A and B are shown apart, each in its own frame.
Chain A
Amino acid sequence: MIELRFHEELYDGFAIDEAVKTYAAYATAELSRDGGAYVVKVTAKPEATQQGIEERVLSAELANYALGLSIERARETRAGETAREGGAA
């Protein structure tokens, strides 16, 4: 089992949920919150390890996916805010 901690100010909770769902075929994940961080405990499924997928690599890929989605969501939010500001002006 590998514990990943994602800071709440830098990662989006929905993005983490989405990443966990995406990798659900390869790993089981336990989600919680602790001290301003989203905590994800990742355990690779036996099918994944049989295919030669390392738990370490799986966790890192899940974290990358969560980061990518967090960035995309942050951009969308920012773009929406800018559009609203422009509309109000």
Chain B
Amino acid sequence: MSDLSLHLGEGAIRIEFDEGLYPKDAIYGAAYVFIDRCWVHLDRVADRRIQVTLKAKKAGADTQAYAGEFQNELLGQAWRLRIVEENRKLVEAITARALGGAAGPPGLDELLSMDIGEETAFEDPLGIAMSWEEKYKKKGKAEGAKAEGEGASEGASEEEKAS
């Protein structure tokens, strides 16, 4: 038991909390919020029981009201901690995906470390190895061009015969 609470003098308020209901981190969070307005002291009075001693710094301030505010703040902190724990996996997954996307295309080292065997070396799922003509040439136009070429060669052979 600390002597500080005795030295805080009259008007200091002591509140005890069960760590099963309010985790230590939540008590820390609430205490941190009140450090500028109150003198705050924490003590362990029993197993899993933390005692908070509060005294307003300003003379004439209502320490009782601060104690009430402290309990509300503590409830908020405990709830926030619970939400953080519940959503932790989700936040981690979103962050990992965001970082993965921001990393951009693989670097030379990553490409070199890839396992490329004979079976996978010539796979071309995106059609990158295909030439532009093969990929984008219109079928109808191509056939027309072929026919034009054939017609021209026939004309030339007739001219050769006449001469």
Contact = CB atoms under 8 A, between A and B. Distances in A.
B80 interface: no
Interface size class of B (residues with CB under 8 A): 20 to 34
B3 A67 contact: no
B41 A78 contact: no
Interface in A9-41: 9-11, 37
Given A2-B7, A5-B1, A11-B42, A86 B35 contact: no
B92 interface: yes
Contacts of A64: 35, 39-40
B15 to A, nearest CB: 15
Interface string B116-138: 00000000000000000000000
Contact count band on A = 20 to 34
A7 B7 contact: no
Q: Is the interface of B mostly helix, strand, loop or mixed?
A: mixed
A5 B2 contact: yes
A5 B24 contact: no
Interface of chain A: mostly helix, strand, loop or mixed: helix
B92 A89 contact: yes
Contacts of B31: 67, 71
A9 B44 contact: yes
Contacts of B39: 60-61, 63-64
B62 interface: no
Contact of B4 (A4, A68, A86): A4
A56 B28 CA distance: 23
B40 A4 contact: no
Interface of A: 2-7, 9-11, 37, 56, 59-61, 63-64, 67-68, 70-71, 74-75, 78, 86, 89
- Ranked nearest first, the 3 interchain pairs of A and B with the lowest CB-CB distance are A60-B39, A5-B2, A71-B28
19 contacts: A2-B3, A2-B7, A5-B1, A5-B2, A5-B3, A5-B4, A10-B24, A56-B8, A56-B9, A59-B7, A60-B4, A60-B7, A60-B39, A61-B39, A63-B4, A63-B39, A67-B40, A68-B32, A71-B29
